[in-house]
C-alpha cells in the first residue's frame, strides 16, 4: 500500500485548513443518526466507529435529490441556459460501500449515455474515504465491497488508535495531503494494523448471501414465478424508502416548472423510485407494472440481474440503508434473495 501516517489531532487541523480554503462536506452527527453536510469547522466532522452509515448516500453530491437542470425563456424562440455545476468539493467520510456505489454509478451515468451533470460533479469531487465497523444490517462482504475500490478514492483513512493510516489513491490525493506538514511514512507495523482491522471487519459481518453475487443473474432467471416474491410483496407499503436511500439507485423524473408569468421557467429532475405505484405510468395512463408484486420483484431483478448483465457487476453495495429504513422489514437483499434461492420464506442468512 502507498500509505502515510497522520495523528488524529493533526488530521483535525488538516481538515480545518481544507475548510478555510474551499467547500468541504463530511459526516456529521444528527442525534442518533449521521448525515453528510457542508462543514463550517473541523469540529463538526464525526468519524468515530459509532458512525456506520449516513441517512443519504454520497451520491447526493453528484446526483442531488432535486436539481435544476436549466432555465428557459419563451419568446419567438426558446432559449436555454445550463446552470453551473458548482465549485470543487472535498468529501470526507464515505465508507468502502459508498465508494463502490459511486463506481457503479460511474458505469451507468458515465457510460454509453453520459450524464454531463454527474460527470462534471464527479470531476470536481475529491474524496477522503474512511474504513468502518459494520453493524447488523451490513452485508458488504457478500457484495465484495468491504475493501476500498482501486481508483475510487483520493485518500483513504483507517483508524488504528491515536492515528490514521492514510492510503493515497490518486495524485490529487497526494497533493491534498501535502497541505499537512506533519504526515510521515507508515511503518510495517502500521500496515499490519490495517490488515488486522480489515480482517476483524470481515469476521464481524454476520449477514451472508448463500451464493456469490456473479451467480445471481443466472440463478434468478428461473425464479421469477417463485411464490416467495408474493409473500414479501404483500407486506410492501410502496413508500420507496428503499429506493430513495439507496446508494446505487439512479432513476429520476424530469418536469418543467413555469413562472407565474408563463414567460419562462425551469426544468428540474428529482429522484424517483420503482416501488412507487405511479413510477411506470405512461402518457396514455397505462401502468406497465401495475401491481405491488411486479414493482417489488423488479427492484431485485434490476439490481441483481438486468444491470449485472449490462455492466458486469451487481448494483448493490451492501450498505444496509434499505434494510434500516424499511418499516415492514422486507427490503434486506440478503434475506430476500436467500429466501428466493431456497424456495422458502424461512430462508435466513447463516
Each residue's pLDDT tens digit, 21-46: 999 999 999 999 999 999 999 999 99
Confidence of residue 343 (pLDDT cuts 50, 70, 90): confident
Note the pLDDT tens digit of each residue in 61-79.
999 999 998 888 887 556 5
Nearest 5°: CA angle at 276, between 341 and 55? 80
Domain assignment present for residue 290? The answer is yes
Residues 131, 34 share a domain: yes
CB-CB contact of 138 with 333 (8 Å):
no
Residues 244, 167 share a domain: no
Domain assignment present for residue 46? The answer is yes
Provide the CA 91 distance to its chain's centre, in angstroms.
13
Residues 47, 187 share a domain: yes
Note the pLDDT tens digit of each residue in 134-192.
999 999 999 999 999 999 999 999 999 999 999 999 999 999 999 998 899 999 999 99
Residues 236, 100 share a domain: no
Domain assignment present for residue 311? The answer is yes
224, exposed or middle or buried, with CB in 10 Å at 0-12, 13-18, 19+?
exposed
Bridge-based pairing state of the strands 78-82 and 89-92: unpaired
Is the pLDDT at 346 greater than 50? The verdict is no
Domain assignment present for residue 269? The answer is no
Residues 134, 12 share a domain: yes
Note the pLDDT tens digit of each residue in 77-107.
565 555 556 689 999 999 999 999 999 999 9
**What residue numbers bound the domain in which 245 lies?**
213-249+275-342
Is the pLDDT at 57 greater than 90? The verdict is yes
Residues 171, 60 share a domain: yes
Residues 182, 228 share a domain: no
- Which H/E stretch holds residue 293? helix 292-301
Residues 136, 84 share a domain: yes
CB-CB contact of 190 with 5 (8 Å):
yes
Is the pLDDT at 279 greater than 60? The verdict is yes
Residues 228, 177 share a domain: no
pLDDT score for 78: 60
| SS3 category, 324 | helix
- Which H/E stretch holds residue 258? strand 252-258
**Whole-number Cα distances in Å, 2 to 30, 99, 156, 227, 273:** 34, 18, 11, 50, 40
| SS3 category, 33 | strand
Domain-ending residue, one of 171, 204, 237: 204
108-114 mean pLDDT: 90
How crowded is residue 304: how many other Cβ atoms within 10 Å of its Cβ?
Answer: 24
Q: Which of 37, 9, 13, 33 is nearest to 25 (CA)?
A: 37
| SS3 category, 21 | helix
Residues 138, 10 share a domain: yes
Q: At what angle do helices 333-342 and 292-301 cross, to 10 degrees?
A: 100
Domain assignment present for residue 289? The answer is yes
Domain-ending residue, one of 172, 204, 236: 204
Pairwise CA distance, residues 184 & 186, whole Å: 6
Residues 333, 199 share a domain: no
pLDDT score for 1: 65
State the virtual CA torsion across 233, 237, 238, 244 in degrees, nearest 10.
Answer: -110
Domain-ending residue, one of 204, 234, 265: 204
Domain assignment present for residue 186? The answer is yes
Beta bridge partners of 129: 156
Note the pLDDT tens digit of each residue in 260-277.
988 889 999 999 999 999
pTM: 0.93
Domain assignment present for residue 268? The answer is no
Q: How many domains does the structure of the chain reveal?
A: 2
Is the pLDDT at 211 greater than 60? The verdict is yes
Domain assignment present for residue 160? The answer is yes
77, exposed or middle or buried, with CB in 10 Å at 0-12, 13-18, 19+?
exposed
Residues 103, 29 share a domain: yes
Q: What is the largest CA-CA distance in the chain?
A: 71
Amino acid at each position: 500500500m502507498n500509505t502515510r501516517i497522520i495523528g488524529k489531532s493533526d488530521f483535525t487541523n488538516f481538515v480545518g485548513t481544507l475548510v478555510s480554503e474551499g467547500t468541504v462536506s463530511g459526516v456529521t452527527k444528527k442525534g442518533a443518526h449521521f448525515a453528510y453536510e457542508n462543514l463550517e469547522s473541523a469540529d463538526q466532522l464525526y468519524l468515530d466507529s459509532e458512525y456506520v452509515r449516513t441517512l443519504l448516500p454520497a451520491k447526493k453530491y453528484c446526483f442531488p435529490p432535486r436539481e435544476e437542470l436549466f432555465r428557459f425563456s419563451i419568446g419567438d424562440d426558446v432559449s436555454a441556459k445550463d446552470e453551473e455545476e458548482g465549485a470543487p468539493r472535498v468529501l470526507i467520510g464515505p465508507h468502502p460501500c459508498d465508494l463502490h456505489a459511486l463506481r457503479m454509478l460511474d458505469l451507468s451515468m458515465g457510460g454509453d449515455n453520459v450524464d454531463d451533470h454527474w460527470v462534471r460533479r464527479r470531476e470536481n469531487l475529491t474524496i477522503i474515504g474512511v474504513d468502518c465497523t459494520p453493524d447488523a444490517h451490513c452485508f458488504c462482504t457478500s457484495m465484495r465491497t468491504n475493501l476500498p475500490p482501486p481508483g475510487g478514492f483520493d485518500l483513504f483513512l483507517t483508524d488504528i488508535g491515536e492515528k490514521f493510516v492514510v492510503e493515497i489513491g490518486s495524485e490529487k490525493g497526494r497533493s491534498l495531503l501535502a497541505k499537512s506538514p506533519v504526515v510521515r511514512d507508515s511503518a510495517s507495523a502500521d500496515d499490519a494494523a490495517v490488515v488486522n482491522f480489515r480482517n476483524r471487519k470481515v469476521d464481524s459481518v454476520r449477514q451472508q448471501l448463500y451464493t456469490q453475487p456473479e451467480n445471481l443473474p443466472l440463478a434468478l432467471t428461473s425464479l421469477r414465478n417463485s411464490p416467495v416474491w408474493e409473500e414479501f410483496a404483500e407486506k410492501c407499503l410502496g413508500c420507496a424508502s428503499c429506493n430513495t436511500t439507496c446508494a446505487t439507485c439512479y432513476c429520476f423524473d424530469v418536469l418543467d416548472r413555469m413562472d407565474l408569468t408563463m414567460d419562462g421557467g425551469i426544468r428540474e429532475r428529482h429522484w424517483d423510485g420503482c416501488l412507487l405505484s405511479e413510477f411506470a405510468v405512461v402518457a396514455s395512463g397505462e401502468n406497465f407494472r401495475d401491481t405491488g408484486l411486479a414493482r417489488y420483484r423488479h427492484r431485485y431483478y434490476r439490481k441483481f440481474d438486468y444491470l449485472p448483465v449490462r455492466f458486469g457487476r451487481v448494483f448493490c453495495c451492501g450498505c444496509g440503508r434499505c434494510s434500516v429504513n424499511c418499516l415492514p422489514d422486507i427490503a434486506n437483499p440478503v434475506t430476500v434473495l436467500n429466501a428466493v434461492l431456497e424456495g422458502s420464506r424461512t430462508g435466513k442468512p447463516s
